[in-house]
Amino acid sequence: MNVLMPDLLHVLEHWRPFTALVIGDFMLDQLVYGDAERLSPDAPVPVLAVRRTESRAGGAANVCLDLAAMRARVFAMGVTGDDPEGGMLREALQQAGMDASGLLTDHARPTTLKRSLIGLAQHRHPQKMFRMDLESREPLSPAMTDALLARVRDALDRIDVVCLEDYGKGVCSESLCRGVIELCLSAGKPVLVDPALREDYARYAGATAITPNRNEAELAAASLGASPEPPSLDSGADQAEALASAWADIGSRLLRAHRFGAVVLTLDRHGAMLVRPDQPPVRLPTVARKVYDVTGAGDMVLAALAAAIANGADWPDAVRFANAAAGLEVEVFGVEPIPLERIHHAILLDHGRLRGKVRTLPQAVIEAAAHRREGRSIVFTNGVFDLLHAGHIALLRHAARQGDTLFVGVNSDASVRRLKGPGRPVHNERDRAEILSELESVAAVIIFDEDTPMRLIEALRPDVLVKGGEYEPARVVGGPFVESYGGRVDLAPMLEGRSTTAAIARAREGAPGAAV
């Protein structure tokens, strides 16, 4: 397993919002849902009885949405037709918080539209039946190209990074690509390109980085002359070295031919190959994941690389970040932006920085944010939890039922001694935290050294704060703070006769029932 560099953790812990410009082929994706229960009487084709239609921004807009989920302010630049679909595309982008003022109207072409017909057979399983593409692949006119380049020129002083997303629909013509790259290089702005499937990459020459997948890279390298045949990605481990060498050669050929600052070859489950001038090629593996849908993975790689570079990551760490983001993307159906917090959490998990359920406070904050971005509520409770007994279990079960994810604060040994005296705790803080980690109701455990958990509560901002019923609401530490932002305080019912202090006293006296 590849060792996670501390620099990437540092970048993630100090992540800052940034500004990105995305230029390329913007599209409208329409999903037409209905029932497919019979064949047409006039042809052997299924009939779709339409129930509803969903319209979503697609194509280069996917890069915009991915960047926004990584805390970017995004400027979208491209063209639409003078048609209702163009209006829907602009509205979808604006509702998602994008600046769509750079989407120009081209009266000579339609808005690129992908309309998928999805049938529900026997009211059970949705299945894509057919897709209709309404588009023009003609290159932009010189006038539209000049207008777009003028928009790019005017925006560059506000931009941290530029993404060029080419789907081969005509917007990323040779003149536009060359113009965008020249403007970016002159302004000192990194420009990253996700290329279309084409034989010649000359239009992208000089880009800061290019991110072809293995099929795209092989096609483009073939136009440069004979090259070693890349081995199958399904080959055994004994051919891993040959595989890396062959793909490094392809990346190097593209790099030299077109003066790229970096080539990032994406190799599916085999991760990515990073090739840079005067640097040895580096293959960066990814964590094996269950693949549901590879749609949007290339868009995610481009967005994640741009986000990491905008935040000062070096290229190997940027590729590690992009690998993690793309791995999460292929685990979901369709295209779904992945929040930064979820990527950060996955990187910590994948590289062994999170084992079991014990967390530092910064790690717990990341994990809580990842849960919250996916709609899960956070519950918090705390205690010493020395000599775990039925009363503790009842409290934790009750707390877990108050929301989706339970975080538990545990007093450190020093904190317990200050609160309970020199004879406590019986079990040290690590043992107490590990025991709690084995409980199904507990999602994460955080050890804290203060006399109260106020610092944890302020950092985690739980939706529900739970304490035992022996407390009065006014005495619950953090209660007013939680209620100030709309959270609530819950008092759990207590089990009579369960007390750690009493159990310890009985054990020391040798009383019946004192076994612990």
Q: What percent of the chain has pLDDT over 70?
A: 86
DSSP output for 352-411: TSS-TTEE-HHHHHHHHHHHHHTT--EEEEEE---S--HHHHHHHHHHHTTSSEEEEEEE
Least confident of 318-332, 351-365, 367-381, 409-423: 351-365
CA atoms within 13 A on the CB side of 395: 27
| Cα–Cα distance measured from residue 15 to residue 10, given in angstroms and rounded to the nearest whole number | 8
Long-range contacts from 93-101, C-beta under 8 angstroms, 24+ separation: 93/26, 93/57, 93/61, 93/64, 96/57, 96/64, 96/65, 96/68, 97/68, 98/61, 98/64, 98/68, 98/74, 99/73, 99/74, 99/75, 100/76, 101/75
Residue 344 is given by DSSP the state: H
Percent of the chain surpassing pLDDT 90: 58
409's tokens? 């604060």
3-state helix, strand, coil in the chain (%, to 5): 40, 25, 35
Which amino acid, 490? Answer: D
176 sits in the region (left: phi over 0; alpha: psi -120 to 50; else beta) called alpha
Residue with tokens 């309970």: 420
Tokens of 319: 């590729």
Residue reference for tokens 């003028």: 150
For the segment 126-153, what is each residue's pLDDT rounded down to a tens digit? 778 889 999 999 999 999 999 999 999 9
With a cut of 90, say whether residue 107 has pLDDT above it: yes
pLDDT at 230: 55
Distance CA 115, CA 190 (A): 34
Q: Give the pLDDT confidence score for residue 516 in this predicted structure.
A: 35
Q: How far apart are CA 209 and CA 215, in angstroms?
A: 17
> Under 8 Å CB-to-CB from 331, ≥6 apart: which residues?
289, 290, 291, 292
CB-based contact 169:138 (threshold 8 Å): no
Of residues 444, 436, 495, the one with CA closest to residue 468: 495
**Which string of DSSP letters, residue by residue, matches 480-501?**
HHHHHTT-EEEEEPPPTT--HH
CA geometry: angle 258, 264, 266, nearest 5 deg: 130
User: Is the pLDDT assigned to residue 403 strictly greater than 80?
Assistant: yes
Which tokens hold the place of 355? 């084992």
Per-residue pLDDT, 514: 43
- 10 pLDDT tier (thresholds 50, 70, 90): confident
For the cut 80, the answer to whether the pLDDT of residue 512 exceeds it is no
Give me the mean pLDDT over the 476-482 stretch. 93
**154 φψ region: left (φ > 0), alpha (ψ -120 to 50), beta (else):** alpha
The pLDDT score that the predictor gives to residue 293 is 45
Tell how strand 405-411 and strand 378-383 pair up: parallel
- Residue 3 pLDDT exceeds 50: no
Query: In residues, how long is the chain?
Result: 516
The answer on pLDDT for 66 being more than 60 is yes
Judged by average pLDDT, the poorest of 226-240, 335-349, 465-479 is 226-240
- The stretch 176-196 carries a mean pLDDT of 97
Question: Does pLDDT of 4 surpass 50?
Answer: no
Mean pLDDT of 266-286: 85
Q: For the chain, how many helices (H) and strands (E)?
A: 17, 19
* Whether pLDDT at 226 is above 90: no
Active site residues: 299
The two most distant CA atoms of the chain are separated, in Å, by 93
Distance (Å, whole) CA 403 – CA 462? 10
Domains of the chain in start order, with CATH, are: 6-36+47-350 (3.40.1190.20), 358-509 (3.40.50.620)
pLDDT value of residue 239: 59
Residue whose C-alpha is closest to residue 463's, from 478, 444, 446: 478
From the list 254, 257, 161, 245, the residue with the least C-alpha distance to 210 is: 254
pLDDT of 342 above 90: no
Residue 104: both structure tokens together: 């120009």
CA-CA distance, 265 to 249, in Å (whole number)?
11
pLDDT of 312 > 50? The answer is yes
pLDDT at 161: 98
Using the predicted structure, report yes or no on whether residue 411 has a pLDDT greater than 80.
yes
Mean pLDDT of the chain: 86
The distance of Cα 286 from the centroid of its chain, to the nearest Å, equals 14
Rounded to the nearest 10 degrees, what angle do helices 340-350 and 361-373 cross at? 130
Locate tokens 């990527």: which residue? 343
Mean pLDDT of 420-426: 85
Distance CA 131, CA 30 (A): 10
pLDDT at 1 over 50: no
pLDDT tens-place string over residues 480-501:
999 999 999 999 888 765 555 5
Range with lowest mean pLDDT among 134-138, 286-290, 294-298, 402-406: 286-290
